Amino acid sequence: GDIENTRASFVDMLKIPVYGNMEASDGGDEHSFDGEAKSAGRNAHSGQEESSLREEMKNAITIAARVIAPVIDKSDCSIGYKWVCEQLKTRSFDRIANFMSIEHAGYLLRNKEFEAAIDILKRFERKDDGSKSMAATNLSLIYFLEGDYKAADEYADLAVRTNRYNSKALVNKGNCLFMTNECDDAKDMYLEAIGVQADCAEAIYNLGLTNVRLGLPEEALRAFEKLHVLLPNNPSVIYQIANLYEQQGMLDEATKWFNILTARVPTDPGILSRISELFCNNNKDSQGFHYQLESYRQYPVNINVVTWLGVWFAKNEMYEKSLHFFERATDIQPDEIKWKLAVANCHRRMGNTSKALSLFESISQSNPDDRDCLRYLISICKEVGQPFETYSEKLSSLQRTFHAESDAVLTEESKHDRLRNPDDGFYVKRPLSSGSDRSSIDFADADVNELLAN
């Protein structure tokens, strides 16, 4: 479009005579931009009509300013925002100018120019109108997202003090309290924000999360279900509802809500895998298999899904398909021995004994102290009539070393047990080592390979 004509039209719009003071607060003094227009207006309009006309005019100017500011200079949108603010201030539309300055800060934030945005917002700290609360609210959010919770809390306090009826400021304050684990106080802030703005989505969502942390799943569920009415297509809300039902053991309800979620995000592999787990926990393995397979198609490098499918096919004696998934597992985790053993055992169950023997020997060469591999080598050598004594001796030696080390550990623990305070009412067991991540080995070595070896 013609930028010069746009500029000129906006300036002409600001010159339109309006009855009463555009910037006056309710009950404030009034003056006219045009004396004759004011006189005529008083005769033609009631006070309510004048107020309505002023509001309509302010809304129209605000909309026009928001539309043209980003396009006046496309090479640098900041130029457009600055020009609009200057024109508004020239015509005494100070509040709209302040609002546009905050809009400018929002534009800078979207373009990740955080320092410039902060500089603009900090100019409002000493102002007394509503823009001070709005700017403090935005500053609180910026610092919160940057992880500076102390500064975020300070600006949240400023925003709340300036305007207690600012729902976003109350939410920011609640968020700061939540991060310091002051959940009861955070909950009160979210409830107050909802009291100010009944459909404040951020407050309702965060109230649900706070109730979860407080161990109040039923209250959390009510919050998320209320929000679902307001935002029926929001995946995050639907996920929270489904997750809460699952945590409470209501598997049918959880399955229903996860299915609703897949209608919104049909290609999310994590959700598909969760639905599979629900079906399996409900003894519906065939449906669980379907969703795991769909999850694999969407994201074929999730080791838990890949190995789940490998085990499923092995349990159903479809070893060729099982082999495909365990080979995939070795590609994903090439240093993990159990997947290599599973590949070798698949060949063994398929009747390809020579290939299986070759794979076991290769695994043993690179991992000579792996006792499981030695056991499989002994077993398969017996099957094909090959010597196995070397492997048997090696295994016996490893087992003696293992038992000796275990006895030493038990002796040390027993000594420590004797030395501990006899008045202690309990004895804390040592935690699992950091390498024992059961979530990634739901199908432990024995589960996978004993299944295939038997």
Band the pLDDT of 289: cuts 50, 70, 90.
very high
pLDDT above 60: residue 31: no
pLDDT at 409: 59
User: Mean pLDDT throughout 308-316?
Assistant: 94
Q: How many CB atoms lie within 10 A of CB 310?
A: 27
pLDDT at 61: 87
User: Mean pLDDT throughout 285-301?
Assistant: 94
pLDDT at 265: 93
Specify whether the CB–CB gap between 171 and 203 falls below 8 A.
Answer: yes
Specify whether the CB–CB gap between 213 and 237 falls below 8 A.
Answer: no
Distances (CA, A) of 451 to 132, 283, 445: 68, 20, 10
User: Mean pLDDT throughout 162-191?
Assistant: 93
CA distance 105 to 87: 18
| DSSP symbol at 430 | P
Contacts of 227-235 with C-beta under 8 Å, sequence gap 24+, read 227/201, 230/199, 230/201, 230/204, 231/201, 233/264, 235/261, 235/264, 235/265
Question: Amino acid identity of 41?
Answer: G
* Percent of the chain topping pLDDT 70: 79
pLDDT at 436: 30
- pLDDT tens for each residue of 83-138: 888 888 887 787 888 778 777 777 777 777 777 777 777 766 666 555 677 778 87
Task: Choose the weakest-confidence range: 48-57, 89-98, 342-351.
Answer: 48-57
pLDDT above 50: residue 199: yes
User: Mean pLDDT throughout 19-26?
Assistant: 47
Report phi then psi at 417, rounded to 5: -65, -35
Identify which has the larger pLDDT, 103 or 437: 103
Looking at mean pLDDT, say which of 57-61, 76-80, 233-237 comes out highest: 233-237
Instruction: Name the pTM for this structure.
Output: 0.66
Looking at mean pLDDT, say which of 105-114, 315-324, 382-391 comes out highest: 315-324
pLDDT at 446: 42
Band the pLDDT of 48: cuts 50, 70, 90.
low
Identify which has the larger pLDDT, 447 or 67: 67
Specify whether the CB–CB gap between 239 and 260 falls below 8 A.
Answer: no
Specify whether the CB–CB gap between 237 and 224 falls below 8 A.
Answer: yes
Band the pLDDT of 408: cuts 50, 70, 90.
low
User: Mean pLDDT throughout 143-159?
Assistant: 87
Distances (CA, A) of 159 to 64, 104, 162: 28, 19, 5
pLDDT at 339: 94
Sign of the CA dihedral with 134 first, then 203, 201, and 107 last: positive
Task: Choose the weakest-confidence range: 271-275, 392-396, 430-434.
Answer: 430-434
pLDDT at 1: 54
pLDDT at 44: 46
